[in-house]
Amino acid sequence: MTPVPADHPDAPRRVIVVGGGVAGLATVLRIRRSLPGAQLTLITKAALEESNTWYAQGGMAAVLSGAPGQEPSEPGPRGGVRDSVAAHVADTLAAGAGLAAPDPVRLLCAGAQGQVSWLESVGFRFDSAGGAPASGREAAHSAARILRAGGDATGRALAAALIRAVRADASVRILESTVVTDLLRAGTPAKLRVSGVHVRPAGPATAGEPAAREITADAVVLATGGAGRLFEHTTNPAVATGDGVAVAWRAGAVVADAEFFQFHPTALDVAGSPLVSEAVRGEGAVLRDASGTRFLSAYHPDGELAPRDVVSRSIAQHLAARGERCVYLDATALGGPFLARRFPSLTSLTASHGLNWAREPIPVVPAAHYWMGGIRTDTSGRTSLPGLYAVGEAACTGVHGANRLASNSLLEGLVFAGRTAEALAAPEAPWPAFPAHPLALDSPDAGEPFDRAQLQRLMTRQAGVLRDAAGLELAAKQLAAYAPVGSTIEELETVNLLLCARLLVHAATARRESRGAHHRSDFPLADPRKVPGSTAYVRASTPEEGFPQ
């Protein structure tokens, strides 16, 4: 039988999904249901198991009872407050500090119940208690709505289930250890469309395999995660180098809200900065300084349960004032048996570093955790470039605003994976046109060589939890002077990090106020004249041709 040409009307849709976390895996599975005949290719630059999702501990926010119109203040059957979708929406908007977009937030929160059902259909179950999913409370949530799996290993359990489902589908072409270096574009200058990807093997090419090649497609979905490796301390794995944002920017896509990078308040102060889940504080653990004093109530009335940006900033300010390195998370009041049962992974982790957290407080520091900014999309995952979609942390849908509410990220990946798959299956609608300022970020042909560690030190000191004009100006000048050389995969990742750093510093300089995760010590208050929404949508003044292949 003669194959149908790719450009024939009856040819199957060719879709490339880049990224192996919850957003990428769920997008593949959802597309398979929405477009059963699609030719699907999943590309990851490491093994499928290496993603931010795999390391997520806390859980997924989901309201499983009550109706969207239910009043958040209605008493619940066990006393306290009955939860509702409206309450989840309100908490998400409050955490977003005036920049979260109400309509996408409502889609996010109202979609949670359906995601739980869909996950069950692919073989995943949350932990249960009394015949129903077990739920806990985390910072800035008004009710206990955080579902978990494996105690404190939700991300690993979720990723493992999705990976099994994807691998079970023999029709999905999986390319692991494959790096997308740039996007392909086709068409006229006035009507460009993303038409595939440039790829290279992450390691040495195998016999007969080209060092670089092109894979064409009708649509590309970027689900590449964040850029935690911009900073010295991060909870993110080594793959989090901002690749999706970088390749989209170079192709001309609009990027938004780059100034908003969330620092998780409690990473264990050891090599690798492993995350200590927000859920630990939700269960009653407290933060103390080196003198043993609880200090957070002096910064915010909610203390340990204040929003993440508040807790991280308070810790940073407290440490700076006292000249100390870390604070201490005290979970001793919870007792060893409870900690071992509720947080088995953390109990093993702390023990592996010679710490007994049932008997003594453990040292923690804020660490880069989640980038609220990213490739601007609508609620169907569509970017400003026809043919290009983005889902998960790589995208900026508006659901997080200036600060992400704890445990909304897994939910975001699932909800918008489904919506993106639906958009791919539907007749193509006009693509969104996001207004954006053109921004030139030309790199010098010759300049100061640098390595990734230098970049991370610069960003941590000048554009981390606390920022000011002098530090941002210094960072901007230094970043503009860097002239990276080399073409190894690690060096190309560093080039992507450099681009993300410049976008972040540009946006942080432009936002002359403090809001959410963006804190300017020279503008310590939010500007009430700022209208809700981002003021820093930018696009490349001239799309680049990308890396030498």
Q: Active-site residue numbers? A: 308
Give the SS3 label for residue 221: strand
Of 176, 218, 166, whose CA–CA distance to 199 is shortest?
Answer: 176
Place of tokens 């398979």: 32
Long-range Cβ contact pairs of 478-486 (< 8 A, separation 24 or more): 479/455, 479/505, 480/444, 481/444, 481/447, 481/448, 482/443, 482/447, 482/448, 482/449, 482/450, 482/455, 483/443, 483/444, 483/445, 483/446, 483/447, 483/448, 483/449, 484/443, 484/449, 484/450, 485/449
- Strand stretches in 309-409, DSSP E: 327-330, 362-371, 374-376, 388-390, 395-396
d(CA 158, CA 56): 9
- Strand stretches in 11-134, DSSP E: 14-18, 39-43, 60-61, 128-129, 132-133
d(CA 375, CA 397): 8
Contact partners, residue 308, CB within 8 Å, separation at least 6: 95, 139, 140, 262, 263, 264, 265, 278, 369, 403, 404, 406, 517
Of 358, 299, 376, 364, whose CA–CA distance to 329 is shortest?
Answer: 364
d(CA 303, CA 298): 8
Contact partners, residue 421, CB within 8 Å, separation at least 6: 27, 30, 31, 33, 34, 35
Rounded to 5 degrees, what angle do the CA atoms 535, 539, 540 make? 140
d(CA 108, CA 507): 26
State which amino acid sits at residue 523.
F
d(CA 464, CA 154): 28
Give the SS3 label for residue 322: helix
d(CA 42, CA 104): 26
Q: How many residues does the chain have?
A: 549
CB 248 within 8 A of CB 258: no
Question: Helices 154-167 and 409-425 sit at what angle, rounded to 10 degrees?
Answer: 30
Give the SS3 label for residue 185: strand
Place of tokens 């200036």: 402
Q: Which two tokens stand for residue 103?
A: 């309509």
Around Cβ 80, how many Cβ atoms within 10 Å?
11
